[in-house]
A = this chain, B = another copy of it.
Amino acid sequence: MKSKDSRMFRTEWEFLRWLGGLAKLNDRCVRLGIGDDAALVHIGESRELVLTTDLSIEGVHFTGRIHSARSVGHRALARALSDIAAMGATPRFALVSLAITKHTTRRWLEEFYAGMESLARRFGVSLVGGDTAVVPRSVSVDAIAVGEIARGKAMRRSGAGPGDLIYVSGRLGMSALGLGMLKSRRPPGSSIAAGRQLSSEAIQAHLFPEPRCGLGRYLAERRLASAMMDISDGLSSDLARLCEASAVGARIEAALIPAPEIHSRGKSLALALNGGEDYELLFTVSPSKASRLPGRFQGLPIHRLGEIRRNRKLILIDENGKENVLRPSGFDHFRKE
């Protein structure tokens, strides 16, 4: 991936040729990749297409000080693959639109595509196209993913019914904890072994989040989940969205939320509820199917948080058994600070 030649590409054409060589067409469903006007792909018969696009913008979603080019590439694609996972679909193709500045180096581009390509390869995704521009400031990325799923099998946010149990994969708040550590450059508890382990897990969760495509597909194929979405802005906001789409409410217990194991339980819970960028799956399962749900899926823990209620309020039961209204407090681009 590294080139001896560290000069920047002189023309867009030169860049596209390099990119075309990098994203080799070893997927026989890709009829035409980078270098023509558009990509040409084939999807199996009686399949449905899942289409998603996610922006990653310097100064909003990443900064040069904290995120390496490899992390920026990984995270941009991971966000899109996580949306595909949330539908229970199989990711197949990706496109990336990239606006760079005149200060962007060839090395940065190489590392960016290395991060994206390595994630794509692991998930069987072919990078088939994109667009590029040079802008005065702020690198921005738009990652587009195309997935496929058997007709009628896609999971939606809108299927949760009263009595359904609410589950989440993995541990929430780890990405926000990792971001905090990267910002302060002072990992909490870094002097003890457990602290070091937690620090490195949290930093990894932030810089290289893992889309849960395997679990999403498992739940959709077996029709285990009634509703599903990924947690991108934070549990409090995303649970509210799932409930709104399903026209229901929810009651979850703070004690059941898998949060980072740090000294302050209050801070830990706040990270898990509002931290965002977890890219874990939030889903609901009817009680009749709950026994078929594994406690772990390929090593990934699955935790029950509470249940769906007919009453459209969102309730959080704190660790003293007291009921509180849970307000959506995750990330929102439109909210005034």
* Residues in A lying within 8 Å of B, measured CB to CB: 8-15, 31-32, 35-43, 45-46, 48-55, 57, 59-61, 83-84, 86-87, 89, 93, 95-97, 99, 128-138, 140, 142, 144-147, 149, 151, 154, 156-158, 229-230, 241, 244-245, 332-336
Contact = CB atoms under 8 A, between A and B. Distances in A.
A132 B333 contact: yes
B334 A37 contact: no
Given A9-B334, A31-B154, A35-B245, A48 B57 contact: no
Please indicate which of the listed interface residues A50, A134, A241 has the most CB atoms of chain B within 10 Å of its own CB: A50
A36 B334 contact: no
B10 A130 contact: no
A84 to B, nearest CB: 6
Contact of A32 (B95, B154, B229, B335): B154
Tell me how many chains of this kind the complex includes.
2
A80 to B, nearest CB: 9
Contacts of A135: 57, 59-60, 138, 140
Nearest to A39: B51
B86 A37 contact: yes
A96 B142 CA distance: 10
Contacts of A41: 48-49, 51
6 closest residue pairs by CB, A with B: A38-B52, A37-B86, A142-B142, A37-B83, A39-B51, A134-B333
Contacts of A87: 36-38, 40
A334 B140 contact: no
A38 B61 contact: no
A54 B86 contact: no
A228 B84 CA distance: 33
Which residue among A86, A93, A145, A334 has the maximum number of chain B CB atoms within 10 Å of its CB? A334
Contact of A245 (B36, B59, B96, B129): B36
